């Protein structure tokens, strides 16, 4: 597989690369990103390899990420329309202004205009709600986004980091009001974070939304660079590793040694093969790092290795996911349905129905 083996994003007409380039590290404004020059090299390496999907946000490096992308596009006339440029809104870049961010109409409109100015374009292909605001009426946000699509400033709409109940509410509201649909979801998903399997991934599949996982390497934990002895990443907003995390990291490193691949490629290949995943957001601080990560596109994990990683990373899902997972035992009476064999209800086996 390669970056130009495009996939259709959700129930839409939009085609994107199997890896989307994440640009949260573009700019050094937060103290740990890449210089504008190195960021431009990463962009060039991605596009030259056949990639067409870029992901950013107004909040990334205080808008600098968007500006770096905009400058890169401006230097390459004709390139803009060949790419799928997505950005997210919610983050407030204007201290003291309560309407400077969020999902209300005034905030959304101003955030988009600012993003368009920095990106040096007249539209974005994917406009993502970045976080949850439970106070602003959902109807206000969805109507605003629909107006922006009608105006030609936005092509498609996505939701990022929202709970499944809000995703379902947004999708059904759009459907019944004949508004722009929810094309895709962004959510954290990796060998070290699989709780999205409880609600968000099933919601995306049921609603016809594509899935773009972020954090596939869990802030570097799955690159093989960290161990129990050295500890995990120390960047702000990163939770300390749990003991169960190290068991997963060990398994990834062992599988990498067995198949002769980089640990990061193992983790990315595992995620690419998960049911429901459309395009994985992959970041890189350098062009060399991007090239190494792209090797995951050619890596097919052996069935035994995939099963081993599935088992060691299996999450403890919250209610009602664990209860629903056992529903087939109660429902099918030990029969085979749609090619799947279901066990008998152990309660009936112990005490057959008599009434």
Dist. CA 121–CA 115, nearest whole Å: 9
- For residue 138, give Cα distances in angstroms to 102, 121, 220: 12, 28, 35
Q: Of 320 and 296, which is predicted with more confidence?
A: 296
pLDDT confidence band for 110 (50 / 70 / 90):
very high
pLDDT surpasses 80 at 51: yes
pLDDT value of residue 235: 63
Break the chain into its structural domains and give their ranges: 7-324, 327-355
pLDDT surpasses 60 at 303: yes
- Could you report the per-residue pLDDT of 113-128, keeping only the tens digit for each? 999 999 999 999 999 9
What count of residues does the chain have?
355
pLDDT confidence band for 156 (50 / 70 / 90):
very high
pLDDT value of residue 94: 96
- Could you report the per-residue pLDDT of 168-192, keeping only the tens digit for each? 999 999 999 999 999 999 999 999 9
pLDDT surpasses 70 at 71: yes
174: nearest Cα among 199, 151, 149, 152: 149
Dist. CA 47–CA 25, nearest whole Å: 17
Dist. CA 310–CA 191, nearest whole Å: 8
* Average confidence score pLDDT of the chain: 94
Q: Say which DSSP state 24 is in.
A: T
The answer to whether domain 7-324 has CATH 3.20.20.100 is: yes
Q: Say which DSSP state 190 is in.
A: B
pLDDT value of residue 237: 54
Query: Containing H/E element for 312?
Result: helix 303-312
Question: Are residues 123 and 115 in contact, defined by beta-carbon separation less than 8 angstroms?
Answer: no
Dist. CA 87–CA 117, nearest whole Å: 12
How large is the average pLDDT for residues 142-155? 98
pLDDT confidence band for 4 (50 / 70 / 90):
very high
pLDDT confidence band for 42 (50 / 70 / 90):
very high
Helices 243-259 and 303-312: crossing angle in degrees, nearest 10, is 170
Residue ranges in 124-261 assigned as alpha helix (H): 138-150, 164-176, 200-207, 243-259
Active site residue 156: no
How large is the average pLDDT for residues 52-72? 98
pLDDT value of residue 327: 81
Query: Containing H/E element for 116?
Result: helix 105-119
Check the CA dihedral 298-15-161-43 and report its sign.
positive
Task: List the catalytic residue out of 60, 127, 156, 189.
Answer: 60
pLDDT surpasses 80 at 239: no
């Amino acid at each position: 597989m390669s970056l130009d083996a495009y996939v259709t994003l959700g129930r839409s007409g939009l085609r994107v690369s199997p890896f989307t380039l994440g640009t949260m590290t573009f700019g050094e404004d937060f103290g740990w990103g890449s210089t504008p020059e190195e960021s431009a090299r990463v962009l060039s390496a991605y596009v030259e390899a056949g990639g067409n999907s870029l992901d950013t946000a107004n909040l990334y490096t205080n808008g600098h990420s968007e500006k770096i992308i905009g400058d890169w596009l401006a230097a390459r006339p004709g390139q803009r329309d060949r790419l799928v440029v997505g950005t997210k809104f919610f983050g407030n870049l204007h201290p003291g202004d309560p309407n400077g961010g969020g999902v209300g109409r005034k905030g959304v409109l101003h955030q988009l205009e600012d993003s368009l100015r920095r990106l040096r374009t007249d539209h974005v292909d994917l406009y993502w709600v970045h976080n949850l605001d439970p106070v602003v009426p959902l109807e206000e946000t969805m109507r605003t986004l629909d107006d922006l699509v009608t105006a030609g400033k936005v092509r498609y709409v996505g939701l990022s980091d929202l709970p499944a109940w809000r995703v379902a509410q947004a999708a059904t509201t759009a459907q019944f009001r004949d508004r722009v649909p929810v094309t895709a979801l962004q959510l954290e998903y990796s060998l070290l974070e699989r709780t999205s399997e409880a609600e968000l991934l099933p919601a995306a599949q049921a609603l016809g939304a594509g899935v773009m996982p972020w954090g596939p390497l869990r802030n570097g934990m799955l690159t093989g660079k960290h161990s129990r002895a050295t500890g995990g990443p120390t960047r702000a907003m990163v939770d300390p590793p749990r003991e169960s995390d190290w068991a997963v990291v060990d398994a990834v490193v062992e599988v990498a040694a067995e198949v002769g691949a980089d640990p990061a490629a193992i983790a990315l290949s595992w995620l690419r093969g998960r049911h429901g995943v459309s395009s994985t957001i992959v970041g890189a601080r350098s062009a060399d790092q991007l090239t190494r990560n792209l090797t995951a596109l050619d890596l097919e994990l052996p069935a035994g290795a995939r099963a081993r990683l599935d088992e060691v990373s299996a999450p403890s899902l919250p209610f009602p996911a664990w209860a629903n997972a056992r529903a087939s035992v109660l429902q099918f009476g030990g029969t085979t349905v749609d090619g799947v064999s279901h066990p008998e209800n152990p309660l009936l086996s112990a005490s057959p129905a008599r009434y």
